Amino acid sequence: MTERFFAPQAWLDGAWAQDVLLSVGPDGCWSGLQPGASAAQAQGALRLAGPVLPALVDAHSHAFQRAIAGLTERAGAAGSSDDFWSWRDRMYSVARRITPDQLEHIAAWLYAELLAGGYTQVCEFHYLHQPTDAAGGDPLAMSMALVRAADRVGMGLTLLPTLYMRAGFGATGLRDDQLRFAATPDSLVRLVEGVQAAFRDLPGVNLGLAIHSLRAAGLPAMQELAAWAGVRQLPVHIHIAEQTQEVQDCLAHTGQRPIEWLLNNLPVNAQWNLVHATHASPSELQAVAQRGAAIVICPSTEANLGDGVFDYPAYAAAGGNWSIGSDSHVARSWPQELCLLEYSQRLALRRRNVAARPGGSSAAALMEGALAGGQAASGLALGPIALGKRADFLVLDAQSPALLGVPGAQTLDALVFSSPQVPPIQVYQGGQLRIDGSQLCRPGAKPGLREQLAQDFARTMGELWA
C-alpha cells in the first residue's frame, strides 16, 4: 500500500520546493514526488507539520564510546601531554570491560539519540569482537548486542566487523589491552556469515567490513579481506591519516604516506570509505576522488581529539565524495557536525562560507555533500528525497526559536548555523514514524520505551564508572 504525505516545504534537488506531495511505495522507498500540488491532489494525504528534509547516514560510529562522552575532558598531571594517544588509553579502560548487555544498553540509548538528531542509518565500525567471560564465549555476542539495540529503537544499522591484528607498524601482535579487538580475515568472514544468518528477518540491518587502520594489519590480510568484500560488493571502511604520528610512522615503515600507500597496494574504488583523512596531501585527495572512493569526515570528534582540520576545499575542488560520522559521539546530530565542519574551515582559512558555491548557501552545499556520501558508506539506496531512495525524512518545527520568522528559503541555513539547536519534531524511516516529539515510535514497542532505555543507560553507566 502506498503512503502519501503532504509537505508545505520540502528539500528536493538541492533546493526548497513548496506544497510537495510525497508518495512512499510498499518497499519503503519514494515512489512519487510532486511539487506544487493542489489541495485537491493532496486530498487524503497526511499533512506534515513543518518543513521536510531528508535524513542523513551517520557514516562512522563506535557505539561503546558513548559511555565516555564528557568524561575525558580533564588534563593529566603537570608535564604530561594530552592528545589522541592519551585519550585512547582512557577509552581502552571501557573497551576492556564492557559486556554484551552493557553494550546493548549503551548502543540502544545512543541510537535513540541519533534518531532524534536526524540520522536514520548508522555505520557501526565494530572491533569489540571477543566477548567477556559473561558472554560464555559466543563469538557473535558483541555484534548481536548492536543488532538488538538498533532493532529495539528502529535505527537502520550497517554493521562493519573490523580487522585488527597488531598494535602498530612493525608489531607482530596486539598489546594486552587490545586483545579483545583480535580478528583475522577468516574470523571476520565467519562473523559476517553468522550475523547474516541470525538477523535474516531484520530488514533494517546490513553488513560491510572494516580495516581498523594500516598500523593494525599487514598487507596480505588486508588484500584477502578486500578481495572477499569486493566480490560481494560490500562497503569497506578504514581509519586513515587521522594523526600526524600515524603519517610519520607510515613514512618510516613504508616510505609512503598512508593514503598514498593504500592506493598503491589495495583495490580502492567506490566501495571504499576512508575515515578522517585529516592529514592527506592535496595529491592524495585528488587520487581518492579519481578512484571514486569516499571520505568520512567526523568534525566533532576530530575537534574533540585535537586531530587537525580536514582540507575540505582541496577535496571539494577535486569533486570528491564524502559523508559525515559522529564517531565518538561527543555530538549526536548532523546539523552540529555540518556546522563544525564549516567553522573549522573558517578558522583555518580566516574567511566565511567556505563550502558555498558562488552565490549559494554553505548549509546547502554541506547537506548535499553529506547526502551523496551516505549511500557509499551504508551500502544502501539512501540519500536525497528522490525516486527509488528509501523514504527517510525529518519534519522540522518552523516555530522553534532558531527558525522562528526565518524566510522559508533560508530554513536550512538557520537550522545549521543558528542556535539553539532545532531537533526534528518527527523522524521517518522507510515512510514509518520513528520519532514523534520526545517519543520513540517503534512498532510493537511497549509504552515508555524511551524512559526504559534511559534507565538501562543510567544503570549501565553506574556499573562502568562506580
Catalytic residue of the set 237, 276, 279, 329: 276
- Is 357 in the same domain as 276? yes
Residue 463 included in any domain: no
The answer on pLDDT for 466 being more than 90 is: no
Return left, alpha or beta for 316; rule: phi > 0 is left, psi -120 to 50 is alpha, else beta.
alpha
Residue 136 confidence (pLDDT)? 60
Per-residue pLDDT, 37: 98
Residues 10, 79 share a domain: no
Domain shared by 284 and 140, yes or no: yes
Q: What is the pLDDT, as a whole number, of residue 89?
A: 84
164 and 283 co-located in one domain: yes
Strand 3-12 vs strand 46-47: parallel, antiparallel, or unpaired? Answer: parallel
Q: What Cα–Cα distance (Å) separates residue 41 from each residue in 6, 36, 49, 51, 354? A: 10, 10, 18, 19, 41
**pLDDT confidence of 445, banded at 50, 70, 90?**
confident
Find the helix or strand (DSSP H, E) in which 301 lies: helix 299-304
Q: Tell me, yes or no, whether 61 and 185 share the same domain.
A: yes
**What cell numbers appear for 363 in the block?**
548549509
pLDDT value, residue 154? 95
Last residue of a domain, one of 327, 355, 378: 378
| pLDDT at residue 130 in the model | 83
339 and 393 housed in the same domain:
no
Q: How confident is the model at residue 202 (pLDDT cuts 50, 70, 90)?
A: confident
Separation of alpha carbons 277 and 262, rounded Å: 12
Active-site hit among 307, 311, 327, 392 = 327
Torsion-angle region of 79 (φ positive above 0: left; ψ -120 to 50: alpha; else: beta) = left
Q: Is residue 410 part of a domain?
A: yes
Residue 217 sits at φ, ψ, to 5 deg, of -155, 150
CA distance 465 to 212: 27
In a domain, 457, yes or no: no
Domain end position, chosen among 332, 352, 378: 378
Q: What angle do CA 380, 131, 378 make, to 5 degrees?
A: 10
User: Residues 197, 345: one domain?
Assistant: yes
The alpha carbon of 248 is separated from its chain's Cα centroid by a whole number of angstroms, namely: 27
Question: Is residue 170 located within the same domain as residue 283?
Answer: yes
Question: In the annotation, is 436 catalytic?
Answer: no
**Percent of all residues in the chain with a pLDDT value above 70, rounded to a whole number:** 98
**Catalytic residue at 276?**
yes
Residue 217, in any domain of the structure? yes
pLDDT digits (tens, 9 = 90+) for 219-260: 999 999 999 999 999 999 999 999 999 999 999 999 999 999
pLDDT band at residue 2 using 50, 70 and 90 as cut-offs? confident
Query: For position 200, what pLDDT does the model report?
Result: 81
- Angle at Cα 69 formed by Cα 156 and Cα 341, nearest 5°? 70
Q: How far is CA 262 from the centre of its chain?
A: 22
Mean pLDDT across the stretch 410-420?
Answer: 97
DSSP single-letter state for residue 273: E
List phi, psi (to 5°) of 123.
-100, 110
Domain of 426, in residue numbers: 3-53+386-450
Q: What percent of the chain has a predicted confidence (pLDDT) above 90?
A: 90
Q: Is it the case that residue 171 has pLDDT exceeding 70?
A: yes
What's the average model confidence in pLDDT over 327-356?
A: 98
- One domain, residues 400 and 374: no
Stated as kind and residue range, the H or E segment containing 206 is strand 205-207
Tell me how far CA of residue 89 lies from CA of 68, 92, 379, in angstroms.
Answer: 12, 5, 32
Q: What is the pLDDT of residues 127-160, one digit of tens each?
A: 999 876 555 678 899 999 999 999 999 999 999 9
CATH of the domain at 402: 2.30.40.10
Confidence at residue 156, expressed as pLDDT on a 0 to 100 scale: 97
Contact 223, 268 (CB under 8 A): no
Report the candidate in 248, 92, 259, 246 with the shortest Cα–Cα distance to residue 181: 92
Domain end, chosen from 378, 395, 429, is at 378
257 and 277: one domain? yes
Name the pTM for this structure.
0.97
Phi, psi (deg, nearest 5) at residue 162: -120, 135
Q: What's the whole-number average pLDDT of the chain? A: 95
Report if residue 232 sits inside a domain: yes
- Type of residue numbered 450: R
In a domain, 159, yes or no: yes
Q: What's the pLDDT tens digit per position in 337-351?
A: 999 999 999 999 999
Q: Same domain, yes or no, for 38 and 173?
A: no
Q: Are residues 124 and 101 in the same domain?
A: yes
CA dist., res. 224 & res. 425, Å (int): 46
Q: What is the mean predicted confidence (pLDDT) over 165-175?
A: 95
Does residue 408 carry a pLDDT above 60? yes
Count of domains observed in the chain? 2
Confidence at residue 101, expressed as pLDDT on a 0 to 100 scale: 96
Residue 98 lies inside a defined structural domain of this protein:
yes
Q: What is the pLDDT of residue 134?
A: 52
CATH of the domain at 167: 3.20.20.140
Identify whether 401 is part of a domain. yes
